[in-house]
Structure 1
Amino acid sequence: MRTFNTMISLTILVFFLSTGLKAQELLVKNVHILTLDDTSVKKDQTIHIKDGLIIDFYPKSNIPVGLRELVSIDGMGGYVFPGLAEMHSHIPTTDTNDFSYIEDVMWLYLANGILNVRGMIGHPSHLELKKRIEIGEITGPRIFAAGPSLNGSSVESPEIGAKMVKEQHQAGFDHLKLHPGLDMPRFLAIANTAKEVGIKFGGHVSLDVGLENSLNNGYHSVEHIDGYIEALIVDKSRLDPQIAGPFSMLLVQEADLSKLPQLVQLTLDTKAWIAPTLTLFERFFGYIPADEFRLEEDMKYMPGIQVQQWVNQKKLLENQGVLKEENVKPYLEFRQMLLKTLYDADVPILLSSDSPQVFNVPGFSIHNEIKSMHDAGMRPLDILRSGSRNVARYFDQEGDFGVLEKNASADFVLLRGNPLEDLNQLRNISGVMLRGQWINQEKLQSELNRIEKKNIRK
């Protein structure tokens, strides 16, 4: 009888592993757990999952008798951690019922261990995407959707700004994204209305507003570490884009660093978060030429027309002479210094690369970002926290996800090695658990193969 039961369990397990279907209750055995509370490892553990939640953890030798016949997954001595995030995504949009390209992007994220995504260029289709993922029609990371851009062109007056904030809040967006071009009256209308209705906001820093006004009036996240260089420039007439270049990159030698401690303290005092996107600037605004990036292995997962658009965007700056190494290298080093200074002061950081964006392939770009964060001086433990528990903290959902704890969402990634010892292990994924749904490496690879084949250059 026991042999028969074992055969049934194995049959269920094979079906479960091959389809990615969600089991109501299961065990993940023989894993080492990284809670990220510190750098310690809980060796030889079993994780009990039921109805999408983590129920408990057991030592390998002490699994309760009543659970031993459950469907189980053998982690084969791998390392489990809470997964990664992309907190600055440009999720593709659709005006039809065709979500196929968006679904491809979701699989690119999942195949790279990304379980949470904050969209930062909003569209109504993102609300539909979020709904379809929540009910299981589409497989994808947990989505937090910002609304359509609030900028100098879209916000024609303070009254329109306040109206747009209310409409986006009522529509169900989770966040507001601000772009440049706002003056103080329009910015204040947005900020005050957002605080009134209770929706988080952040983004780029408009020149006429400035970093200090943005922080003092409620910016929840500063994207791209924007506004800091501009706040350090004494002669504001130099901030003319024709002089300063993109993101004021040509002015780093003029920055008054004696003002930086005050700005860092203000960032702390106002409880703002930083979304660095280091890799975007290294690739889009870096001195490595477009023709080198276009040949990278990851580009095979993107439509050819998209890669060509990225080439054209970067070559435009190259042809203008903006991206010379003598211009760009000091700027990139300055950005790393800014991140390290903010990090050392305990300003909270969000893992974010900005994808899909110029030569930032969804999912894969996060690994480039992680390397850049590490090169800037961040510890592996804090980098992993920036893509897990920090995301839940940011959205006031601490303990609900992004952690390996009882009653938290069953979200985690199984790796073949310990990423706290070697961040390159983050690429060695054996499978992901997505709100109680196990997706094995074979399924993830099959989706990558499908997307690659779809985008073969003809």
Structure 2
Amino acid sequence: MKLIRLCRAISAAALLLGAVLPPAACAQSADGVTAFENVTVIPMDTERSLPGHTVLVQGDRIIAVGPSASVAVPGGARRVDGRGKYLVPGLAEMHGHVPPPSAPAQNTEDVLFLYLASGITTVRGMLGAPGQLELRRRTAQGELLGPTLYLAGPSFNGNSVNTVDDAVRMVREQRAQGWDLLKIHPGLTRAEYDAMARTAAQEGLRFGGHVPEEVGLMHALRMGQETFDHADGYVEYAAGEDVSLDAAKLDSAVRMTREAGAWVVPTMALWEVLYVTLPLDSLLAYPELRYVSPQSVQAWVNAYNQRRADPQYDAGTARRVIEARQQVLAALHRNGSRILMGTDAPQQFSVPGFSLHREFPRMRAAGMSPYEIIATGTRNVGDYFQRNDAFGTIAVGRRADLLLLDADPLADVANLQRIAGVMARGRWLPADEIRTRLEAIAARHPRP
């Protein structure tokens, strides 16, 4: 036990010094180790690949990373053959949702597993419900199989907040209850928003989400809003009546975003659904719909048709909004703004986990390389959560959230779908177990 404690101390020191390989004695003394052997590691600290490496995991931590000839694998370790495979950090859904406590237990378990099945090991839940913090605890302690959850509390909106005092009270209540952040929805007045922002700063709480109309993008940036989900506020600020972007205003917004250290969660694919710019037939052809109840799919179809039939709907304007959003994302990326991976799943035609892969083509179209796209769901997320835990890259001391792939994602980001296994907080799920569990979910939702 003394040696193991010493090794942990050495590993922690090595992490601070940037080392990637602890002393071999640490690996030799460990119990209950998982070894990914002879794998190509993509650590995501920089754009590089490390072939012929071994990664050791004990508990929920990475304890060794190095050339396979230099890393001693202890007897009795679980050995995962990594030859011809690639190991990347687990991905994150930074604008996701998890079912409320009132939802059927099976539905909650299925949603959490769908995230894991696509390699999502971290979810930032962006709409809290009373009692949901128990779900965070159960997943963290391994009582329920799922990603690590960081949860926003019930939202600040025009219904929940009617006065400045309401805003102050809600911040303090959510701080006392233990929520990880505050969720902003439309409807707040500027005075209410400012009271929320000032109190959040006093209480040490981060906040993000939408930009209320009366507040506006630039004021929200000045007040310290940390994430701008759905890239909310940018088109509204920079576009004219015809939805064409004013280049000077867009540049100003992008520059201020970078200077403020704010983050943007684009959710591009979903907005194409909500603006009815994708054909319904193509949406209904998504194979991942087999993991969703027919009733949910029908509700999504009804919502799509209602928007399309709305007398105020104009297809040309909708297309221009989507084009403007794409220009915003390209400008944010080009100017070094910080982007986080997110899709707003589960949402209309956005099935947890699978929806990330609908997002990637939009990110590529904005000029992002495969490495830069993967970084939005790994290293960037680790940077965002660095005050909570260390993860998002493959290094000693990081949380053991890992994704084993059959092909190189740096060559093609679509290879993130070629999953050989997922590890979440040290829990290993090989591909055959993932397939079995997915088939069980599909069987619970037989198609008509």
Q: State whether TM-score is above 0.5.
A: yes
SS of residue paired to 1:61: helix
SS of residue paired to 2:44: coil
Q: Which residue of 1 aligns with 2:53?
A: 45
Q: Which residue of 2 aligns with 1:141?
A: 147
Q: Which residue of 2 aligns with 1:81?
A: 88
Q: Which residue of 2 aligns with 1:229?
A: 235
Q: How do 1:25-424 and structure 2 match up within 5 A?
A: 25-64=33-72, 67-95=74-102, 98-233=104-239, 251-253=242-244, 255-320=245-310, 325-397=315-387, 400-424=390-414
2:51 counterpart letter in structure 1: K
Q: 1:81 and 1:41, CA in 2 relative to 1: closer, same or farther beyond 3 A?
A: same
Deviation at 1:266, TM superposition (A): 1.2
Deviation at 1:182, TM superposition (A): 0.8
For the Cα contact (< 8 Å) 2:42–2:49, is it kept in 1?
yes
SS of residue paired to 1:140: coil
Identity %: 37
For the Cα contact (< 8 Å) 1:85–1:352, is it kept in 2?
yes
Q: 1:321 and 1:30, CA in 2 relative to 1: closer, same or farther beyond 3 A?
A: farther
For the Cα contact (< 8 Å) 2:268–2:362, is it kept in 1?
yes
SS of residue paired to 2:176: helix
Distance in 2 between residues matched to 1:101 and 1:69, nearest whole Å: 36
Runs of 5+ unmatched residues, structure 2: 1-30
SS of residue paired to 2:202: helix
Q: 1:321 and 1:428, CA in 2 relative to 1: closer, same or farther beyond 3 A?
A: farther
TM-score for both structures, normalised by structure 1: 0.87
For the Cα contact (< 8 Å) 1:149–1:177, is it kept in 2?
yes
Q: 1:282 and 1:88, CA in 2 relative to 1: closer, same or farther beyond 3 A?
A: same
Q: Which residue of 1 aligns with 2:18?
A: none
Distance in 1 between residues matched to 2:88 and 2:195, nearest whole Å: 41
Q: 1:201 and 1:416, CA in 2 relative to 1: closer, same or farther beyond 3 A?
A: same
For the Cα contact (< 8 Å) 2:94–2:124, is it kept in 1?
yes
Q: 1:322 and 1:314, CA in 2 relative to 1: closer, same or farther beyond 3 A?
A: farther
Comparing 287-296 with 350-359, which one deviates more in the overlay? 287-296
Distance in 2 between residues matched to 1:323 and 1:40, nearest whole Å: 47
For the Cα contact (< 8 Å) 2:33–2:59, is it kept in 1?
yes
Runs of 5+ unmatched residues, structure 1: 1-22, 239-250
**RMSD value, Cα:** 1.8
1:201 counterpart letter in structure 2: F
2:424 is aligned with 1:434: yes
Comparing 285-294 with 262-271, which one deviates more in the overlay? 285-294
2:154 counterpart letter in structure 1: P
Comparing 427-436 with 68-77, which one deviates more in the overlay? 68-77
Aligned residues: 418
Deviation at 1:330, TM superposition (A): 2.2
Distance in 2 between residues matched to 1:422 and 1:338, nearest whole Å: 24
Comparing 140-149 with 389-398, which one deviates more in the overlay? 389-398
Deviation at 1:233, TM superposition (A): 4.6
Deviation at 1:262, TM superposition (A): 1.3
SS of residue paired to 1:166: helix
For the Cα contact (< 8 Å) 2:230–2:266, is it kept in 1?
yes
Deviation at 1:325, TM superposition (A): 4.3
For the Cα contact (< 8 Å) 1:24–1:52, is it kept in 2?
no
Distance in 2 between residues matched to 1:73 and 1:95, nearest whole Å: 39
Residues 308-333 of structure 1 show CA distances to partners (whole Å, capped at 9, x for unaligned) of 11111111111125665423322222
For the Cα contact (< 8 Å) 1:353–1:360, is it kept in 2?
yes
TM-score for both structures, normalised by structure 2: 0.89
For the Cα contact (< 8 Å) 1:280–1:358, is it kept in 2?
yes
Distance in 2 between residues matched to 1:63 and 1:287, nearest whole Å: 52
SS of residue paired to 1:205: coil
Residues 378-427 of structure 1 show CA distances to partners (whole Å, capped at 9, x for unaligned) of 11111111101211211234871111001111111000011000111110
